[in-house]
Amino acid sequence: MEEQNQDQIFDQELKQELPSAGKQGFPDQFKIFFRDNKLVIIVSVVMLVLVAVVAVWVFRGNGDESVVSNNVVLQIRGPDKTTSGNEAEYQIIYRNGENANLVDISLEVFYPPDFEFKTAEPEAVSNTGQRFSLPDLKSGDDGTVTIRGKISGATGEEKELRAKLEYRLSNFNSQFSITANAKTVVLAPNLTLEITGPIDVTNGQDTTFTINYANVSNEEFENLSIVLNLPSGFSFTQSNPPPSKDDNQWAIPKLALEGRGAIEVTGSFTGAASQEKIMIAELGLKIGDNFAPLISSSASFKIVASSLYARLNAVPDDFVYLGSQISLNLEYGNQGRVGMTDIVIILSLEGTVLDLSRLAVNNAIVTNNVVTWKSATLSNLNVLSPNQDGEITLNIPLKSDSSTNLKNQVIKASATIASDQVPSPIKSNELAIKLGSRLGLSVSGQYVSGALPMKVGETTVFAVTFLVTNQSNDLEDVELIASLPLPSSAWTGVILPAVEEAKLSFDPNAGKVRWRLGDLPAFSGKFTPAPVVTFELQVTPTEADRGKSMKLLSDIQVSGRDVFTVQDVKSEEVREVSTSSLNDNKLNSVGATVQ
């Protein structure tokens, strides 16, 4: 019935042209089409494959499809907001949480518009501060790149700083990458601050730079202050106006509307050739002893090697004690291409504890705390040829005692070198050696009551006194420890004065006496009273002690930590205190041994 219906629908002549289900279907037609168009089809397929390969290569080349490791972390820390024209500091922190080291590490930083790159630590590969080549990072370690830059923009504008870290794993060949970003909102400016000066500075030679500041708000400011954070190797010479404190602070009592000012600072930088020194200035409010920065600015100075140089070394170079000496070595030389004549070297020493009366220097002129070498006193200084160098050594004695009550003292030494060809003095590095404090311990004792002379089986009571002194710096965590080589029953618990009862204790299990003094001010025992404690011990000799003196304490020592030098300090150890060493009149009159 269905066959008849189909015959009724289609014309018989047209039906003859339709393919028969049993003869020629769609697959046969495809074969015919492929046969007639084989070349076109093959070329098209090849072209499609090539296009796909190129597309994959292009997209992977953009870096956005790099492999990502979830165990490596990249983070940017920066201010959420800052005023326009202010400098901001960003810390880019990367952490290796993989089981392998990170190698071939590079960092690319994308700065927002109107961002003026200033400095970076470590240094960037380019002056723009956009690319960094970083050292390998061990498994579990962190790395940090610190960037400073000046941000400008419209009020309320959001600035985004982005970073991309690329690396490989030491046990894997694929390139990995990770990205991070930080956003900072720009606020309306109130103040401006800028450091201007030369980019290159001669090593050891004075240079001048200027700190410019202005009020761009619609209100007056009072109690402002500029604080200059000096890099290592910078030696302050002078400024205009002079600093109000510590050679790096300038008070600005009032800054009127549209008011502005400038501070000229002169000083020298010392360091290795091509080394960059970063100077950071902050302008803020000074309220009492507190400083609240409002705006900051930085400048980078690159050191250029000078023809002449002077360099100081000392042993010790960190801290020293009264009664000792400093061995000073002064190296000098000509690293230029022209010979130098009539060299003059001047050494300046500072410190109230220096015993300059015992300073012995050969071939020099000593005037108070200044030592001068010149060609008239040292023939080596007549001519200094290119690449020629020399050295001078001397010992600087310290007083055995200090008459001043100044604590936290520093001994300083610096030198300059000049010649006919370089008349402007070249400064050396400055040495700053701290004066350390020393602990003193005195132990005494006396007969109190009981058998005298001491007798076997009878009890005698003695009083032992500890006295602790401290020299020049405040100490913390001060504690005295002594061993008690007697039965625990010897400890009576009698302690004087009463205020020391909570600090002095006896541990019967360890056989140790402990006196926890805590903080001990400088000059205790000299300008302020020394801490003292007295306690009683009762001794009952046995037959084995007959004819001998009785040992009361041993291995007594007091220790603490110098707050200024951040060094542990210990007194000399008192090895033993016995009845024969008490120097008590009553005991001496009848004998210090057991009867």
How far apart are the C-alpha atoms of 33 and 553, rounded to whole Å? 114
CATH topology of domain 191-304: Immunoglobulin-like (2.60.40)
- pLDDT(67) > 60: no
Query: What pLDDT was estimated at residue 8?
Result: 41
The structural domains of the chain, with segments of one domain joined by +, span: 32-61, 72-186, 191-304, 308-435, 439-590
Q: What is the dihedral of CA 508, 512, 513, 516, to 10 degrees?
A: -110
Q: Which residue has the higher pLDDT, 405 or 56?
A: 405
- 439-590 under CATH 3.10.180.10, yes or no: no
pLDDT > 70? residue 11: no
Q: What CA–CA distances, in Å, run from 136 to 107, 437, 590? A: 12, 43, 78
Looking at residue 39, its pLDDT comes to 63
| Other Cβ atoms closer than 10 A to 101 | 18
Does the pLDDT at position 4 exceed 90? no
Q: Which amino acid is residue 591, in one-letter code?
A: G
Write down the architecture of domain 308-435 according to CATH.
Answer: Sandwich (2.60)
**542 — pLDDT class (breaks 50, 70, 90):** very high
- Find residue 340's DSSP bridge partners: 384
* Stated length of the chain: 595
Nearest to 267 by CA among 296, 243, 297, 245: 243
CA-nearest of 306, 304, 117 to 200 is 304
Q: What is the largest CA-CA distance in the chain?
A: 156
The pair of structure tokens assigned to 553 is 């304490």
Tens-digit pLDDT profile for residues 343-369: 999 999 999 999 999 999 989 999 999
pLDDT on residue 64: 39
Decide whether 72-186 matches 191-304 in CATH topology: yes
Measured distance CA(53)–CA(31) in Å, rounded: 29
**72-186 is classed CATH 2.40.40.20:** no
Instruction: Please indicate, yes or no, whether the overall pTM of this predicted structure exceeds 0.75.
Output: no
pLDDT tier, 223 (very low <50, low <70, confident <90, very high otherwise): very high
